[in-house]
Structure 1
Amino acid sequence: MDATLTRRQLVDWRTAIFTIFLVCGLGFASWASRLPSVKQVLGIDDFGVGVLLFVIGAASIVGLSLANVIVARWGARRGMFATIVSFGIGVAIAGLGVQFLESYAVTAVGLAFMGLGMSATDVMMNVEAAAVEQSFERTLMPLFHAFFSLGTVAGAGFGILMAASQVGVAWHLWLVGAIVLGAGLVALRFVPSREIVHDDPATAPTRKERFAELAAVWRDPRTYAIGLIMLGMAFAEGSANDWLTIAVVDGHGQTEATGAIALTVFSVAMTVFRVLGGPLVDRIGRVWTLRILAVTAAVGLVTFILAPSLPVAFIGVALWGAGASLGFPLGMSAAADDPTKAAASVSAAATIGYVAFLCGPPVLGWISHQIGILPTLWIIVALIAMSGFASGAAKPIAGSKVGAGHH
């Protein structure tokens, strides 16, 4: 059985997982912010950049698959020691490949390590966050994801500063890699070994029992219903990150700067609602929160698509960001309701959500090439509606003290 943690140990555990969410967002956005410099130094075109992004995406999907095995075999805490190292070293190798070696191949290898480590860490930090949430007996998952969002904002801002100061890509990414490794590994020292996330080899199930537990989760209909909630909202979030600026420019005829402002509005709305989301869920419940926000996201996206003017389009973007903010974290929270299979369930839910997040934007890109970007966004409206209809699956199971709400 897990030992009872003191209040100080619980707070340290929560702070450690906040830190890991933050540095993951920082590392990812730092690389993305230097893509123009990478393109220039390596002398590649948009297709070459696309191949590098494909390498990250493919490695990330491999990392998602490995994360389930790592959690089942070694536990979330021990697994993250390896995956954070992969992430941080991958960032550093990518910097070396760009600036000093000017090697496309070495850069791609670095991005492969980065994508693999980032996505595997992502699954395991959500497993830990769900365990923290259950220990505190209140909704915290949106706040964890807000820290990731804050990390991406910090990473993008730091990248703009480094680029404006003409700091080389390698020096920038080496510094970021050191921050990811240093902060991530120090934070893990404050994460307790918990049976609930398979950390204790002495009391945890056997390897055969762990893999049987993982397989059983994939046979549970609730896993797929929660997956539908997360899939719809992952598409809503991922499509905005990759296509909102293009939709503003090509669909509404605005400048690139206006597109960047629209993406900032989306990101700020999403982050604010993630910060505020926990108390809202604890007040009205997980299911009603998801239903209301699904309507909000759908109304916002429809408003953006049909907007007759720029101010109306920005209102739509804000509603879209606010509405899409909690589907992913609350899906994770729902998956963790049963502590006996929380690690396996969260791993499975994370896999469904992240595959949608990674694969959705390229699919939308192909469709938009056929019919245009604004008509393509109606597909996202339909997926958001699907997410809203599936939200009943997030109802807390009997005995769970997180997400039930109180009126």
Structure 2
Amino acid sequence: MSDRPWSGSIHSQAHQRERSSPISSHQITTKSWFYSVLGIYLVSGLSISAWLVRVPAIAQELNLSAGPLGLLLLTQTVGAFLSVSASGMVVMKLGAQKTLWLTFALMMVGGLGLAVGVSFLHSVLVAGIGLGLFGLGQATYSVGANVQGAAVERALKKQRMPLMHGCFSIGTVIGSIVGTAMTAVGVSVFWHMLSVYIVAIILVVLSLRNTRHEGEDIHPGTTGLMAIVSSDEGQGTFTIRHAWSEKRTVLLGIFVLGMALAEGSANDWVALALTDGYGASASVGAVGYGLFVAAMTTGRLLGTGLLNMYGRVAVMRVACILAVIGLGTFVVSPWIGLGMVAIFVWGTGAALGFPVGMSAAADDPFRASARVSVV
């Protein structure tokens, strides 16, 4: 890379950072880096499931029906939308590592703010602000994690993105099991979330100590939404605006939007749908959410082999059909047993959409950050 005319100042800055760091990126093996990125994804799943599994309890504590609860959950979505709109600039300016530190702190502050608002203040406003801050941090945290994931995937020269997102799903499974147990024994939302977040803080500190700079994907200190690129197409600049003008990138974004909707609607509503729609108990609602994230985990862990064997397009066609069948059956089924089966089919179908979309967006390392943020 040193023979490229633009690389000198960038790499000299990187070497200066490495000399000032207790552990240089050269001392971190690719294997350690990979395991650390898995930890970053695991923490994200734990942090989200800590409050998602308690949605029925949150609604009960704040005395919210489905409509006002939907508005409360919308604050997280608004925060995430605002965050991801600026994520390209943030990641390109700070680098993925610093971005992950900053956004993880926002997630912890927001999540604990939600817990305080629910358990102690019984305030919808405080809970909404907390959820908004959580969304603000989590969306850009995901972009940073995906940029790191794409970089380590290229370093390994193997497709590993579904496995990384599988670790996110493992985090949600662990979180749902813990949440179900906490719900069954009557632990408040605050003490449940605080205990999970203490574990998350320990994990993210250990993981981020062993990550590398993502190299050519992002150049910290670059002015504005611009990556310096050099490829067969020639040397130049590639901005967020350029990524928005690419038909392939926009279509990938629409695809991921649909799959994220299939996944996100389950995350937000499965537990409450089981309690309000099917008449199940809160603990059964938590089990239903756990079943969905278990299906997501299964799909992601098995998906890598299928993708390598059959390719992205064929696998995703089958996956999308499964997601539609599962979601449709869950909506119309009059029996909770069939509804539970539908949840598993739904989760299995929705599992690969997000990681496959991110991996496809990051195919070109020189344009990865801009494209990932757009998608």
* TM-score of Structure 1 vs Structure 2, range by shorter chain: 0.7 to 0.9
Distance 1:340 1:54, change over 3 A: same
Aligned partners of 1:76 and 1:127 also within 8 Å: yes
Q: In structure 1, how many angstroms separate the alpha carbons of the residues matched to 2:142 and 2:267? A: 18
Q: Identity of paired residues, percent?
A: 35
Gaps of at least 5 residues in structure 1 are 350-407
Q: In structure 2, how many angstroms separate the alpha carbons of the residues matched to 1:45 and 1:305? A: 19
Determine the structure 1 residue equivalent to 2:114. 94
User: How far does residue 72 in structure 1 lie from its aligned partner after superposition?
Assistant: 2.2
Across the aligned residues of Structure 1 and Structure 2, the Cα RMSD in angstroms comes to 3.2
Determine the structure 1 residue equivalent to 2:310. 284
Aligned partners of 2:92 and 2:219 also within 8 Å: no
Aligned residue type for 1:209: M
Total equivalences in the alignment = 344
Aligned partners of 1:71 and 1:197 also within 8 Å: no
Aligned partners of 1:78 and 1:199 also within 8 Å: no
Q: Deviation per CA, 1:58-90: give whole Å up to 9, x if none.
A: 111112112122012212111111101111122
Distance 1:27 1:244, change over 3 A: closer
Which among 165, 168, 175 is matched to residue 185 of structure 2?
165
Q: In structure 2, how many angstroms separate the alpha carbons of the residues matched to 1:46 and 1:305? A: 16
Q: Does 229-238 or 271-280 show the bigger shift?
A: 229-238
1:62 lines up with 2:86 in the alignment: no
Determine the structure 1 residue equivalent to 2:198. 178
Determine the structure 1 residue equivalent to 2:92. 72
TM-score by length of 2: 0.79
Determine the structure 2 residue equivalent to 1:275. 301
Determine the structure 2 residue equivalent to 1:331. 357
What is the SS of the residue equivalent to 1:11? Answer: helix
Q: In structure 2, how many angstroms separate the alpha carbons of the residues matched to 1:96 and 1:306? A: 36
TM-score by length of 1: 0.73
User: How far does residue 249 in structure 1 lie from its aligned partner after superposition?
Assistant: 8.2
1:149 lines up with 2:135 in the alignment: no
Aligned residue type for 2:159: T
Distance 1:280 1:212, change over 3 A: closer
User: How far does residue 98 in structure 1 lie from its aligned partner after superposition?
Assistant: 3.1
Q: In structure 2, how many angstroms separate the alpha carbons of the residues matched to 1:75 and 1:64? A: 15
Aligned partners of 1:88 and 1:177 also within 8 Å: yes
Aligned partners of 1:194 and 1:200 also within 8 Å: no
User: How far does residue 295 in structure 1 lie from its aligned partner after superposition?
Assistant: 3.8
Gaps of at least 5 residues in structure 2 are 2-10, 15-23, 228-236
Determine the structure 1 residue equivalent to 2:157. 137
1:321 lines up with 2:341 in the alignment: no
Q: In structure 2, how many angstroms separate the alpha carbons of the residues matched to 1:162 and 1:94? A: 17
Distance 1:55 1:207, change over 3 A: closer
Q: Does 79-88 or 186-195 show the bigger shift?
A: 186-195
Distance 1:209 1:30, change over 3 A: closer
Q: Deviation per CA, 1:289-313: give whole Å up to 9, x if none.
A: 2233234444555666777977666
Distance 1:254 1:80, change over 3 A: closer
Aligned partners of 1:124 and 1:347 also within 8 Å: no
Q: Deviation per CA, 1:84-138: give whole Å up to 9, x if none.
A: 1111122222233333444443333222221211111112111211112121122
Aligned residue type for 2:177: G
What is the SS of the residue equivalent to 1:256? Answer: coil
Distance 1:103 1:315, change over 3 A: closer
Q: In structure 1, how many angstroms separate the alpha carbons of the residues matched to 2:196 and 2:242? A: 39
Aligned residue type for 1:223: T
Which among 92, 98, 106 is matched to residue 126 of structure 2?
106
Q: In structure 2, how many angstroms separate the alpha carbons of the residues matched to 1:84 and 1:308? A: 41
Aligned partners of 1:297 and 1:323 also within 8 Å: yes
Report matched runs for 1:2-401 at 5 Å. 9-201=29-221, 205-207=222-224, 209-210=226-227, 212-243=238-269, 254-256=278-280, 263-300=289-326, 316-349=342-375
User: How far does residue 329 in structure 1 lie from its aligned partner after superposition?
Assistant: 0.8
